[in-house]
Chains A and B, each alone.
Chain A
């Protein structure tokens, strides 16, 4: 097999670290992430609290480890939801065309016109602010852009001669869709899904920041960032480390996404 590109390697390492941290956070953390300690409030990073403590004396590293799980979980489920729904809607819309396409795209465009975060805010007000509310709300907010991208890809693929060749062979619409159209849409889907993962983590942070995310005291990177804001002048590590985690995760996801797209595309194989 060909050698792995540097980007894929960096992305892979970052994501592996993230997943390992999240997994480790399930079974072991240096301190109890909920343990308050009034003697060690806003302690700077040192040998015992590697990343310092927050305003209630809770260990930042432990909270980041536990928070990683929530952030990854929310990111994955949101992207999964948006990708599955968006791809299905896009496929149906692109393949059906006619009035079906018209109606779906009209609704889709109306949703797109809403800023994603505003839409999520509204939906959260209905579903209630908890982890699954966030996933559902963000998933719905991201579905239209996925649907749009997939529909575009389907429309251009439909005109290609290999789709007609499939029809001439007597293959049914569903088979053609699954065998020829969907696999050829994978490249834009992967690219969009990976960047969505980033948006989802950021939006979760933003919603938590606004107080509509996962309710405290359960840590997520977003609500840690939000909670650290008032103390940023005395304790820069409260904002720095959750922020760094989010940034590195996004970097890793994007690098890995690009590598994945290239790997999934047979045309990129064997090219030096």
Chain B
């Protein structure tokens, strides 16, 4: 056996109908058992390049040059028959979306068995034993029961474990993991990654890990390739690349990582701007003909204060109730108990005032803007109900606000679909601040954005927050971002607040085990003078 498992030389891909190059002369090697990373933002060609390794390109993309050698055999020249015996058995793939990568109408047992039937000669009993063993290894609590269960009965993290089990059952020599944990929340992300590393190490499987998340890739890989616009800009040993980046783009990626923001003085003695007391929210259960289903309690009496000019981060895993709390305060969800006060008065006493002064930025810039309205109309609409402004003044304010978020007048007449994700989120922010609200609720405002765009939007947000001094409830599962923008951090789990305190206290000396688990998923960053960073991973205990 040679000492490289996979050799990629000058791989080039182009769009078939207009010959636009999407991957440009990409070369790298992967050694047996190595964990190798490809990092890049959306549009960098990282996914297409790896699809080419197993000849799974979409029909619109054609290989225009280069070679892919797997154990000395040219993958690009293989016939379909050969490819089929290669895929799965030799090279396994774990995709990003655990919700759609398992067939929803097949039981887990049948799906796991498929690969074994196709690629091995194992008897049914043997197959069953191997599947049960693998399910146990990936941490499925009831492997016997899982065999006859369907994918929808499992959470995202569990599905990704099952996906991993189905791939690792065949003991492939190479595992391609394309954004395997991006759809999962931080804690589960780390669990799945640890499991992947443990399993592949035990089987001697090499891993090609593809992600936009540089710290995550750096944590597990020995070597990294950085891609930008279809080309490799830099590659090398992980530590070298992080600590002494050579290429400007790598430096930009590293400096776009969220670093801890400065400590700001917040007047905590004054009465809070927003005060929520003992909020209880129940979601009605499924109703049947004869009885009302049992209500599900999403929030168990939660209290939170936000002071003037303060950015309070609400963090927690999925299902922790952080989004529900934000939506309840915004008035989108009706609370079943508790009271919300705004500037010292009951919120419900004066909705007009509250609506004028409380705005929200949503997570998904693709669905939070009406596709049939122009950018200017979207921002102007936010001013519709503002008193004491005539039409001309509203237009002027809307244009000014667009200017402030970095979108000049030539964007005014465009439609949302003509804008990138980052630009759309700028529009969403413009719409929220056009009214000069006293209080802003931002629900995962940067989660859908690329690393460098995220950094720009966060800078914009901080600038505006300093300029207008609004208070903000910043909901996020990404503690890195929180570390950069928050003054105070509130940690939620299972519909309860389990810990809160100022940012430095929470990040440096967390008390609760769950907070420590959350923190162990993100690194502490130290920037050095060469534009590189050192990652320090916090211990769970």
Cα separation A112 to B359 with both chains bound (whole Å): 43
Please, which residues of chain B bring their CB within 8 A of the CB of A164? 332, 360, 362, 368
A168 and B331: CB pair below 8 A? yes
Cα separation A220 to B390 with both chains bound (whole Å): 55
Residue B369 interfacial (CB < 8 Å): yes
Shortest Cβ distance from residue B438 to the other chain A in the assembled complex, whole angstroms: 14
B356 and A170: CB pair below 8 A? yes
Shortest Cβ distance from residue A89 to the other chain B in the assembled complex, whole angstroms: 22
Please, which residues of chain B bring their CB within 8 A of the CB of A184? 370-372
B372 and A183: CB pair below 8 A? yes
Which of A166, A169, A170, A183 touches B351 (beta carbons < 8 Å)? Answer: A170
Which B381-426 residues sit within 8 Å CB-CB of chain A?
381-382, 384-385, 415, 417-418
Which of A161, A171, A265 touches B367 (beta carbons < 8 Å)? Answer: A161
A161 and B368: CB pair below 8 A? yes
Please, which residues of chain B bring their CB within 8 A of the CB of A166? 370, 381
- Which A residue sits closest to B355, measured CB to CB? A170
Which of A161, A169, A265, A267 touches B381 (beta carbons < 8 Å)? Answer: A169
Residue A162 interfacial (CB < 8 Å): yes
B385 and A169: CB pair below 8 A? yes
Please, which residues of chain A bring their CB within 8 A of the CB of B44? none
Please, which residues of chain A bring their CB within 8 A of the CB of B415? 266-267, 269
Please, which residues of chain A bring their CB within 8 A of the CB of B171? none
Closest 4 CB pairs of A and B: A170-B355, A161-B368, A161-B362, A266-B415
Interface residues of A (CB under 8 A from B): 160-162, 164-171, 179-180, 183-184, 265-267, 269-270
Given contacts A266-B417, A269-B415, whether A168 and B360 have CB atoms under 8 Å apart is yes
Cα separation A167 to B371 with both chains bound (whole Å): 17
- Which A residue sits closest to B359, measured CB to CB? A168
Shortest Cβ distance from residue B351 to the other chain A in the assembled complex, whole angstroms: 7
4 extra interface residue pairs, beta carbon distance < 8 Å, beyond A165-B369, A184-B370, A184-B372? A160-B367, A168-B332, A168-B360, A266-B415
B371 and A165: CB pair below 8 A? no
B364 and A168: CB pair below 8 A? no
How many A-B contacts if CB must be within 8 Å?
Answer: 64
- Which A residue sits closest to B366, measured CB to CB? A161
Residue B352 interfacial (CB < 8 Å): yes
B351, B371, B428: which has the most chain A beta carbons within 10 Å?
B371
Please, which residues of chain A bring their CB within 8 A of the CB of B368? 160-162, 164-165
Which B345-380 residues sit within 8 Å CB-CB of chain A?
351-352, 355-356, 358-360, 362-364, 367-372
Please, which residues of chain A bring their CB within 8 A of the CB of B382? 169
Which of B332, B371, B428, B431 touches A267 (beta carbons < 8 Å)? Answer: B371
Shortest Cβ distance from residue A99 to the other chain B in the assembled complex, whole angstroms: 11
Given contacts A161-B364, A267-B417, whether A167 and B332 have CB atoms under 8 Å apart is yes
B367 and A162: CB pair below 8 A? yes
Cα separation A180 to B331 with both chains bound (whole Å): 19
Please, which residues of chain B bring their CB within 8 A of the CB of A265? 372
Residue B210 interfacial (CB < 8 Å): no
B-side interface size class: 20 to 34
Cα separation A193 to B331 with both chains bound (whole Å): 37
Please, which residues of chain A bring their CB within 8 A of the CB of B358? 168
- Which A residue sits closest to B332, measured CB to CB? A164
Residue B164 interfacial (CB < 8 Å): no
Residue B209 interfacial (CB < 8 Å): no
Shortest Cβ distance from residue B372 to the other chain A in the assembled complex, whole angstroms: 5
Given contacts A170-B351, A180-B370, A184-B371, whether A165 and B418 have CB atoms under 8 Å apart is no
The DSSP consensus for interface residues of chain A is: helix
Shortest Cβ distance from residue A173 to the other chain B in the assembled complex, whole angstroms: 13
Please, which residues of chain A bring their CB within 8 A of the CB of B363? 161
Please, which residues of chain A bring their CB within 8 A of the CB of B355? 168-170
Cα separation A165 to B440 with both chains bound (whole Å): 12
Cα separation A167 to B352 with both chains bound (whole Å): 12
B371 and A266: CB pair below 8 A? yes
Cα separation A97 to B257 with both chains bound (whole Å): 45
Cα separation A269 to B384 with both chains bound (whole Å): 27
B381 and A162: CB pair below 8 A? no
Give a binary string over B229-241; 1 marks a CB under 8 Å from any A CB, 0 the rest.
Answer: 0000000000000
Shortest Cβ distance from residue B184 to the other chain A in the assembled complex, whole angstroms: 21
Shortest Cβ distance from residue A106 to the other chain B in the assembled complex, whole angstroms: 14
Please, which residues of chain A bring their CB within 8 A of the CB of B371? 184, 266-267
Cα separation A193 to B431 with both chains bound (whole Å): 35
Residue B112 interfacial (CB < 8 Å): no
Please, which residues of chain B bring their CB within 8 A of the CB of A169? 355, 359, 381-382, 384-385
Shortest Cβ distance from residue A157 to the other chain B in the assembled complex, whole angstroms: 10
Which of A165, A168, A170, A266 touches B372 (beta carbons < 8 Å)? Answer: A266
Please, which residues of chain A bring their CB within 8 A of the CB of B381? 166, 169, 171, 179
- Which A residue sits closest to B361, measured CB to CB? A165
Residue B315 interfacial (CB < 8 Å): no
Shortest Cβ distance from residue A166 to the other chain B in the assembled complex, whole angstroms: 8
Given contacts A161-B362, A183-B372, A266-B372, whether A168 and B367 have CB atoms under 8 Å apart is no
Please, which residues of chain B bring their CB within 8 A of the CB of A167? 331-332
B331 and A162: CB pair below 8 A? no
Residue B430 interfacial (CB < 8 Å): no
Residue B330 interfacial (CB < 8 Å): yes
| Interface pairs (15), CB distance under 8 Å | A161-B362, A161-B367, A162-B369, A164-B360, A164-B362, A165-B368, A165-B369, A166-B370, A169-B385, A171-B381, A179-B381, A183-B370, A183-B372, A266-B415, A267-B371
Which of A165, A171, A180 touches B362 (beta carbons < 8 Å)? Answer: A165
A160, A169, A171, A269: which has the most chain B beta carbons within 10 Å?
A169
Cα separation A171 to B363 with both chains bound (whole Å): 20
A270 and B418: CB pair below 8 A? yes
Please, which residues of chain A bring their CB within 8 A of the CB of B362? 161, 164-165
Cα separation A180 to B415 with both chains bound (whole Å): 14
Given contacts A161-B362, A183-B372, A267-B415, whether A171 and B385 have CB atoms under 8 Å apart is yes
Cα separation A169 to B331 with both chains bound (whole Å): 11
Please, which residues of chain B bring their CB within 8 A of the CB of A183? 370, 372
- Which A residue sits closest to B356, measured CB to CB? A170
Please, which residues of chain A bring their CB within 8 A of the CB of B359? 168-169
Cα separation A75 to B532 with both chains bound (whole Å): 71
Please, which residues of chain B bring their CB within 8 A of the CB of A161? 362-364, 367-368
Cα separation A164 to B385 with both chains bound (whole Å): 16
Shortest Cβ distance from residue A77 to the other chain B in the assembled complex, whole angstroms: 28
Shortest Cβ distance from residue B368 to the other chain A in the assembled complex, whole angstroms: 4
Please, which residues of chain B bring their CB within 8 A of the CB of A170? 351-352, 355-356, 385
- Which B residue sits closest to A168, measured CB to CB? B360
- Which B residue sits closest to A160, measured CB to CB? B367
Shortest Cβ distance from residue A101 to the other chain B in the assembled complex, whole angstroms: 13
Please, which residues of chain B bring their CB within 8 A of the CB of A269? 415
Cα separation A231 to B351 with both chains bound (whole Å): 74
Please, which residues of chain A bring their CB within 8 A of the CB of B331? 167-168
- Which B residue sits closest to A181, measured CB to CB? B370
Shortest Cβ distance from residue B443 to the other chain A in the assembled complex, whole angstroms: 9
Cα separation A160 to B365 with both chains bound (whole Å): 11
Shortest Cβ distance from residue B280 to the other chain A in the assembled complex, whole angstroms: 21
Please, which residues of chain B bring their CB within 8 A of the CB of A171? 381, 384-385
